[in-house]
Structure 1
């Protein structure tokens, strides 16, 4: 079967149209959901739509409209519309069985079925040219198995390699070499892939996310409000933040914490607030599609996750001129924040240290304004045009590699060693 499949691919490659970057397809799990990956993909798709035909291909459709705004030039396709019942008996039957295409260790494995396998495989095999980009490990692995040779394939990683389960890492080591490019968000993750993959894709690159456009103005830093944003899961550590806020509220009862988001931990967090006697001091307003407006009304942003890939919420808070307090997560926050310059990195990562860092920024207005001003400067280096140019360069390089016109840039010449100084004359 493997020989037949490879032979079929070779025949398709001989008859395939020339490689092209005119059409770009981006695979997402659920485009109408909410989350950092979705927001950043929308941001990238809007930029690429200026020069390319861009389509976001969502595996699932579980809500009617996108949660985040999207450039009208970007088109959508949904492979499994779960809002509309279908009389198709094949769909009804296959939807009852778990996926065989997506590894069970994929964190979203429970969202996939044999029906999504069928729809995803049909879509990927329908492409014979253009660019196909996947945005999570399970989709990256499926793309490496199914994409035809004429398609330029790009895998995006939004989570760190070290956080993947061991079976996933084994599959990644074996299959990722088939991609044209693998793009990570952080230098640390890029280094991990370089050191881990025995055979590598044609291109390994690090391209961070860009700051998305937001409404409103820069924060005036006069509101006694601390804000946190994210999906309410254990990974985000909001339970630790609420515990830390007990200490903050005792020292500064006039300050308020707002945690925006929704998710499986929402009820537990609400109960924790009541149990700690923090009603009125900690608020859970729910999700917001206008992050900029809410950040503008705050003075401090807190990230309480112990592990993060490249948290967009930090970039958004920086672009709004907030003072940042974050756990010293080894990948994203550690690379994005310069400690004591444009934010505070909390280490060791304990609830008590998180509370003391927040209190420090509350009590030291000069520090708060200094961190916020430096954060604004940092955010400018993640401007959408600057990051977008990196994607333009990557696409141009991958196309040149396919066309046989790629010329490897010369390595920079080593700097000449300093000449030894002449010995002093002895009188």
Structure 2
């Protein structure tokens, strides 16, 4: 029975490949004029969404750019978006409608997205159908995905005439083993895989038996922000991110108990929302830190909040290329961060543009924060160093790296094999 099943799968794969070849012969020539970027939920709040919006606006200078959001669960995007960039939604959950097929498939779990994908629970058979139809409808241009499940779907379903790019915003080593195995064998079908950090790039090079045609590192760019530079004299420290255990805010609050005891005039503000918010509020109350640790909720105006701060603290257990670190540097805010190898370690030079602390050590984190509070010359030195570091991540410079990548991918697709040189005629 297993033999027949394998033969059936093999036959189906041959039919699928033949169908792709026939479509490829009729497809328009390769192009980078149109770029479509797949996001899970464009109207949500998160670093990936903000960086994709930033990149889309830059690419719109030379390309026709559309963001394709799998879900729509909020009326409008939380972050500002360049008006030249269009947004399309595949599963608009604000308008459920009366389609019985949609109602039925929306109750069933996804078969297209692997269960080890962290956002698996957000996908259904209905999103599978909509996503597969969309990917197969794209006949030319660039199709870019921004998380493992979407990268895998694009690698599996995109037509050969489409230039495919996968983006990875989370380190390979923190992904579940099952997902890593799929990545090892399917990512080779992509034209390019883009990582944010050098460490992650090295991990992918070592892990992929046959990598995509291009495996490159392109970091995030500094997004546009409101307000002026921070003055460095406000007695405020900030942290930002989705309130999950991964972000380590419970450790930060524990560390702040020591900071508050030594410097009761300083305030910690943690911006964001998420499943751990109630637990964090309880922790603050139990520690007697009301008024010393604040949870103001989400903010779209990150620049304005950073302008009012002097220190930014990163307490994540694992962190990729942290956009909040980059934003704090660009605003002239001193950085204190756990020394995560995939991101903070690459972004921060200890003692130059921030302080790096041994991960998951609350006492060390508290000591580093108090050192920056008590040493104003150090605080201003770190802030000035951060401003210099942030210049390397200007959107124009990062956008140029993306343009170079797409030009290279297009050249690979359109390269014409020259005829073999003929022998010169024999003179008689």
Q: Into which bin does the TM-score normalised by the smaller protein fall? A: over 0.9
Query: Which position in structure 2 is the counterpart of 1:78?
Result: 89
Q: TM-score, normalised by structure 2?
A: 0.94
Number of matched pairs: 407
**Is 1:109 matched up with 2:120?**
yes
Aligned-residue offset at 1:406: 10
Report the Cα distance in structure 2 between the residues aligned to 1:404 and 1:200, rounded to whole angstroms: 21
Report the Cα distance in structure 1 between the residues aligned to 2:173 and 2:341, rounded to whole angstroms: 11
SS in 2 for 1:77: strand
Report the Cα distance in structure 1 between the residues aligned to 2:72 and 2:311, rounded to whole angstroms: 35
Query: Which position in structure 1 is the counterpart of 2:218?
Result: 207
2:283 to 245, 255, 272: 272
Query: Which position in structure 2 is the counterpart of 1:336?
Result: 347
Aligned-residue offset at 1:85: 2.0
CA-to-aligned-CA distance 1:189-221 (integer Å, 9 cap, x gap):
000001110001000000000000000000000
**Is 1:153 matched up with 2:174?**
no
Query: Which position in structure 2 is the counterpart of 1:122?
Result: 133
1:262 to 273, 287, 294: 273
CA-to-aligned-CA distance 1:58-101 (integer Å, 9 cap, x gap):
00000000000000000000000000121111100100100000
Query: Which position in structure 1 is the counterpart of 2:384?
Result: 373
Report the Cα distance in structure 1 between the residues aligned to 2:320 and 2:186, rounded to whole angstroms: 21
Report the Cα distance in structure 2 between the residues aligned to 1:79 and 1:213, rounded to whole angstroms: 28
Aligned-residue offset at 1:347: 1.6
SS in 1 for 2:68: strand
- Asked if 2 retains the 8 angstrom alpha-carbon contact of 1:106 and 1:168, the reply is yes
Aligned-residue offset at 1:306: 1.6
Structure 1 moving runs of 4+ over 3 Å: none
Query: Which position in structure 2 is the counterpart of 1:41?
Result: 52
1:356 to 356, 360, 367: 367
Aligned-residue offset at 1:404: 1.1
**Is 1:297 matched up with 2:308?**
yes
Report the Cα distance in structure 2 between the residues aligned to 1:161 and 1:212, rounded to whole angstroms: 25
Report the Cα distance in structure 1 between the residues aligned to 2:415 and 2:332, rounded to whole angstroms: 46
Aligned-residue offset at 1:405: 5.8
Query: Which position in structure 2 is the counterpart of 1:176?
Result: 187
Report the Cα distance in structure 1 between the residues aligned to 2:290 and 2:320, rounded to whole angstroms: 32
SS in 2 for 1:54: strand
**Is 1:232 matched up with 2:221?**
no
SS in 1 for 2:71: strand
Aligned-residue offset at 1:349: 3.5
Q: Output the aligned Cα RMSD.
A: 1.0
Query: Which position in structure 1 is the counterpart of 2:408?
Result: 397
SS in 2 for 1:381: helix
CA-to-aligned-CA distance 1:73-130 (integer Å, 9 cap, x gap):
0000000000012111110010010000000000000000000000000000001100
Aligned-residue offset at 1:32: 0.1
Aligned-residue offset at 1:348: 4.9
